[in-house]
Amino acid sequence: MALAAAAAAAGSLQPFLSRPACVLLRCGHRRLPPLLLRASSTSTSSAPDFNITFAEPAPSKPSSTDPSVEAVVPWIIRGEDGKPSMRTSPPPDVLQAIALAEAEAKKAKKDPRKSQKGALAIPASNVKVKEKKAAPAAPPKFSKAARRFYNENIREREPQRLAKVLAAAGVASRRTSEELIFQGKVTVNGSVCTSPQTKVDISKDSIYVNGNRISKKLPPKLYFAVNKPKGYICSCGEPKSVISLFDDYLKGWNKIQPGVPKPRFFTVGRLDVATSGLIIVTNDGEFAQKLAHPSSNITKEYVVTIDGAVHRNHLIAISEGTKIDGVKCVPDLVEPLDVQTNTKRTRLRIVVHEGRNHEVRELVQNAGLEVYALKRVRIGRFRLPADLGIGKFIELKQADIKSLEGNK
């Protein structure tokens, strides 16, 4: 009976013996002695016969790690000659696979979220992981108003020319400040200075003009858009000048800016006494020079009211341009506007970028027309507000100042 059972077991192992790999014969709960299998060659198509003999059980050695284990697990391995043999120790490739599995198990203990091959991954929700502290947020950027206040009041300024400092402090224009310096009416740190190019720092140096000390604080940069009335001039110090429109504003300056010297306003460019409309008033000399200089190529739009009829040849003559101070000036745009209901006079829109003195009037008169009224309505991209009354002004915001420097 035992031999028949062994033969049946050997027959069930035939599929494993036909493969070039090792086969592990596990005996379940029973501890059986190793089996020695020996195949006999046959030429028939029937299953091969096996001669099975039982070897004497080897004395079991207690395991150093688990003393309760006494059985020796047999390993049936096919050798290089193709014949199967039985061993009591696993082959090298199996040992290597076991070592790799143990290494993967150690990694899984360090990071339980990583899954192994053939093992179930532990969901991240069940694993307590130390959360990294969020990096501190960058400090918020300061607003434009805060940076402007810092630049004007706190930041150390580089030394500047004496004449420029006097003009910025509101003493007089730059040209008049140079005359005061040449006349010996200006002292710097107790010594008379006669050179307008002398570099000074108003926050550190002591500067006197005609015995009056210049404040170490400079007035803020201010920008205004004025709807100039007809009959006013752009020169400073005249009774009927554009700057005289700010008299009431400057009278209340000490209440608005206590302890800060009054600004000295001037116009950016000029409009002749008979021209009305948009003009910029500021105390920023560099800005005024940049905006008014012809090299800036900033466009300016005018509305010209013509006294008399306007024909096509007149428009062609205006668009061809004319010479002013030896320079050929050509307008960017010339077009007629709709006739207003309250007057029958023709109006023209003329856009120029040269900014020459009396340029628009010269263009119209050179075409054989007579100017009845002239009004400037736009500088750059800034247009005169329709609700701004004649002789009134508004303070410009930063967006308005930028629009002055750009073209449509």
Is the pLDDT confidence value at 23 over 50?
no
Considering only residues 46 and 380, tell me which one the structure prediction assigns the higher pLDDT.
Answer: 380
Judge if 258 and 302 occupy the same domain: yes
- How many angstroms separate the CA atoms of 343 and 372, rounded? 12
Burial of residue 309, with CB atoms counted within 10 A of its CB: 0-12 exposed, 13-18 middle, 19 or more buried: exposed
Percent of the chain with pLDDT over 90: 33
Does residue 64 fall inside a structural domain? no
Last residue of a domain, one of 193, 213, 233: 213
Least confident of 20-24, 45-49, 184-188, 217-221: 20-24
Considering only residues 253 and 107, tell me which one the structure prediction assigns the higher pLDDT: 253
Cα dihedral 369, 375, 380, 385 sign: negative
pLDDT higher than threshold 90 for residue 388? yes
Q: How many domains does the chain have?
A: 3
In this structure, the answer to whether residues 313 and 205 fall within a common structural domain is: no
Same domain, 310 and 346: yes
Task: Please say which residue of 213, 236, 255 terminates a domain.
Answer: 213
Lowest-confidence region among 115-124, 249-258, 288-297, 300-309: 115-124
Residue 13 has pLDDT above 80, yes or no: no
Question: What is the model's pLDDT at position 73?
Answer: 63
248 is catalytic: no
Same domain, 237 and 176: no
The reply to whether 107 falls in a domain is: no
48-57, 228-237, 338-347, 390-399, range with the lowest pLDDT:
48-57
Is residue 188 in a domain?
yes
Q: 61 in a domain, yes or no?
A: no
Task: Name the residue range of residue 204's domain.
Answer: 154-213
Residue 120, domain member (yes or no) = no
Of the listed 93, 272, 307, 325, which one is catalytic?
A: 272
Q: Which pair of structure tokens corresponds to residue 272?
A: 């002749």
Mean pLDDT of 172-177: 85
The pTM for the full model equals 0.59
Q: What is the Cα–Cα distance from 12 to 28, expressed in whole angstroms?
A: 16
First to last CA, the chain: 110
Confidence tier at 152 by pLDDT (50, 70, 90): low
111, with CB counted inside 10 A (0-12, 13-18, 19+), is exposed
Report helix angle 312-320 to 359-366, nearest 10.
130
Is residue 193 within 8 A of residue 162, CB to CB? The reply is: yes
294 pLDDT more than 70: yes
Q: What is the 3-state secondary structure (H, E, C) of 191-249?
A: EECCCCCCEECCCCCCEEECCEECCCCCCCCCEEEEEECCCCECCCCCCCEHHHHHHHH
Provide the mean pLDDT of the chain. 77
